[in-house]
Chain A
Amino acid sequence: MDEESGLGLDGDDFYELLLRCHEGLSEEDSHALNTRLVLLMAEAIGDIEVLDKLLRAAKESGKSLKNNV
């Protein structure tokens, strides 16, 4: 996961689009949007090995945070 960033120089553009997409939504609607987004991104990635790696990376980072607190 530490290889060359896939977003490259577009990171700030993506983050702005992401926040704009959430603008004005209730917390509940934002979480529903995130859920749909995960499913759409999974379909776009389309590689079960990559997805498995991403799922574990996301869970791992969550754990390290909880341990630090």
Chain B
Amino acid sequence: MAHYLLSVHSVAGEIREPMTDDEMKESFKQIGKLEAEMKSSDSLVLSGRLHEPDTATVVRISNGEVITTDGPFAESKEHLGGFYIIEAENLDAALAWATKVSKTIKRPIEVWPFVDVRS
């Protein structure tokens, strides 16, 4: 078994068709169903949805001093919007979950393997 990060990328300023309340409800229902499926198969380690990148703060050490700055580390059009950390047998199993997530939330999903700390 291995761990994978399924990251959901959002594009800043991208205009998406606004969802109606019913569509919103349906979307949450589908996401809930998918996450229940991940949990029942012991595949879900952790999941989360992030606030917009302008709520992020960067901390770095410079000449022994702590420098705190506003904003995400990298200024880019695309940013991390949310993630799942899953446990899967191999990449094909992880890609199968990524396919389901992508179909449900209608966004591309990036699949990153974690380094196995035991090796």
Q: Do the two chains bind?
A: no
